[in-house]
Amino acid sequence: MQNSWSLPMQSKNYEIIIGLEVHAQLATRSKMFCRCAVDVDAKPNTKVCPICLGLPGVLPQTNDQAIKLGIRAALALGCSVNLESRWARKHYFSPDLPKGYQITQYEHPLAEKGVLELPGFDKKVRIRRLHLEEDAGKLIHSTRKTLVDFNRCGVPLAEIVSEPDIRSVEEADAYLKELRLVLRTLGVSEAEMERGHFRCEPNISVRPRGQKKLGVRSEIKNLNSFKAVREGIARAVKDQIEWLQQGKEIVQTTYLWDEKLRELRPMRAKETAADYRYFPEPDLPPLILEPFEIEEIKKQIMGTTVPSNQGTTVSFDVSFVLPAQKRKEWLEKGLKKQDVEVLVAEPEWERYFIQLSNVGASVKEASTWLLNEARGILAERKETLAEFKVPVKELASLIKLLRDGKLTRPAAKELLAAMADKGRNAAELMEELDLGGVSDEGLLEKTARKVIEENPDACGRYHKGKTNVIGFLLGQCMAKLRGKADPKAVREMLMKLLSETR
Ligand code: ADP
Ligand code: MG
Ligand code: ZN
């Protein structure tokens, strides 16, 4: 099947160039320059004050937490953080921008020159800059009128701008997913796309293969889903190739993505910096940082996740370890790629996994019983880990019962399903459901003798050298024991008795 963003054949003659701008909402409680709560879902226009409404005679004040989160993100992306950065006003007219300008950073951003490695692509995308700014409000359009909600005015954002290093729709997708994961993992942003916490503006150009000079770019405004990004970029590439083939000149343009028609609607010819009449923000002093402040934040993101050999320690607050570092550590511990991605991308699974390791499960046991079995059960029931009725301690007991030979694997699976249903203690429920393994030598021997008696032919063949008959006899024993014995012990018992009856 073709992806909705797959490109036509003739695109092979062109090189696709993409640079991405991302606006990530910083996970602060209050706004960037005032004390209003960040709560965009509140009743419209209830989280506002004279500062974020842009009334005259008030002064903005920077939010320290937003700055810290910005630095954390910048360091995670390998950027150098500037000891001095500056605020600027970016002017444009919009009904959702009551001040008539946005406070942002322009010539002196918070951080510059970073890099993001795309997992699975063996590729690094350079980050041009990361700066802080404030969001605008929201327009709500209905058929007869347009309403405006200012709750979002002044909400802190980090804008992260890549170099034009991305070469395909797939790479763009991977870049965004990894960036989002970094921000979420470090608690910098909730980065929920559907809630507008993570918005992407792709810049796209194409050039004939071999040409050095970059083509003229199209920019697509504020895309809110991975799908829209993929489809929007593919559309821009197709359009541009077509224009070039028709000998048309491409004019730098800003577009809106029409999700329904799957078309790009020109919004305006690209504005230049001059259109924004940037100038230094007179109401805010430069943002000055001390080296130790940056060092402190740097130390936070240098932790390691993986429990040590004995599974007894977690050396650092796991929420601050970078995804790339986690991947490396879990892979070294022998986890499969697919399991590693679960741990890296889903913090609640990671937390459970680590706790399980800390109470004695090996990485192998934890991946089998948590990431395969329990995850399978929950997926089937369309439930989340939060709804899982088995506490860490009880899953650990189940694993130990299995390890000690008190449960067979099939019985352990059955027990886990029952525990997930009833939320009961492993050992008790094992007794109650009579799932415990038969480790009683006497019963094993009695059963094996019975099976030998009942199958003289098979035993005869065994004695004549058809040793694989043992599999059949074993099956008979296991059936009588309802699968609850350790097959290895039963096989040994059978061999012993058969050699005696020879
Ligand atoms: P603006 O703020 O005007 O959009 P920037 O210089 O900040 O401009 O660049 C925005 C983004 O466009 C960056 O991510 C950059 O990598 C990308 N970009 C610049 N030139 C091109 C091009 N010719 N083709 C594709 N992307 C480009
Ligand atoms: Mg732009
Ligand atoms: Zn306010």
Residues at Cβ < 5 Å from ligand 3 ion: 34, 36, 49, 51-52
Return the pLDDT at 413. Answer: 87
Token pair 């040994």 is found at: 492
Ligand 2 centre from 92 Cα, in Å? 14
Does residue 311 have a pLDDT over 50? no
Return the pLDDT at 440. Answer: 64
Does residue 335 have a pLDDT over 70? yes
Across residues 160-168, what is the average pLDDT?
96
Using DSSP's 3-state secondary structure scheme, residue 60 falls into coil
Sign of CA dihedral 481, 487, 493, 495: positive
Strand ranges, E, within 163-231: 198-208, 218-220
Give me 305's structure tokens.
């996740």
Nearest CA to ligand 1 atom 2: 273
- H or E element at residue 111: strand 111-118
Ligand 1 centre from 298 Cα, in Å? 29
Does residue 302 have a pLDDT over 80? no
Ligand 1 pocket: which of 18, 166, 203 to mutate (most atoms <8 Å of CB)? 203
The length of the chain is 502
Return the pLDDT at 476. Answer: 87
Question: DSSP assignment of 421-447, as one string?
Answer: HH---HHHHHHHTT---B--HHHHHHH
Fold of 441-500: Arc Repressor Mutant, subunit A (1.10.10)
Across residues 347-356, what is the average pLDDT?
92
Output the CA torsion 365→369→370→376 (10° steps): 150
Return the pLDDT at 3. Answer: 65
Instruction: Kindly report the three-state secondary structure assignment for every residue of 281-329.
Output: CCCCCCEECCHHHHHHHHHHCCCCCCCCCCCCCCCCCHHHCCHHHHHHH
- Cβ of 55: how many Cβ atoms within 10 Å? 12
Does residue 186 have a pLDDT over 50? yes
Across residues 82-105, what is the average pLDDT?
95
Return the pLDDT at 145. Answer: 92
- Cβ of 332: how many Cβ atoms within 10 Å? 9
- Per-residue pLDDT reduced to its tens digit, 375-391: 999 999 999 999 888 89
- Give the global pTM: 0.83
Return the pLDDT at 303. Answer: 64
Does residue 269 have a pLDDT over 80? no
Confidence of residue 431 (pLDDT cuts 50, 70, 90): confident
Distances (CA, A) of 491 to 204, 407, 445, 457: 66, 17, 11, 18
Does residue 465 have a pLDDT over 90? no
- Closest ligand to C-alpha of residue 19 is 1
- Per-residue pLDDT reduced to its tens digit, 63-78: 999 999 999 999 999 9
Confidence of residue 126 (pLDDT cuts 50, 70, 90): very high
The domain ranges of the chain are: 10-288, 303-432, 441-500
Strand-strand pairing, 253-258 and 84-85: unpaired
Contacts of 229 (CB under 8 A, 6+ apart): 172, 173, 176, 200, 202, 223
pLDDT over 90, % of the chain: 56
Ligand 1 atom at minimum distance from 214 CA: 23
Ligand 1 atom at minimum distance from 205 CA: 24
Lowest-confidence segment of 201-210, 233-242, 398-407, 433-442 by average pLDDT: 433-442
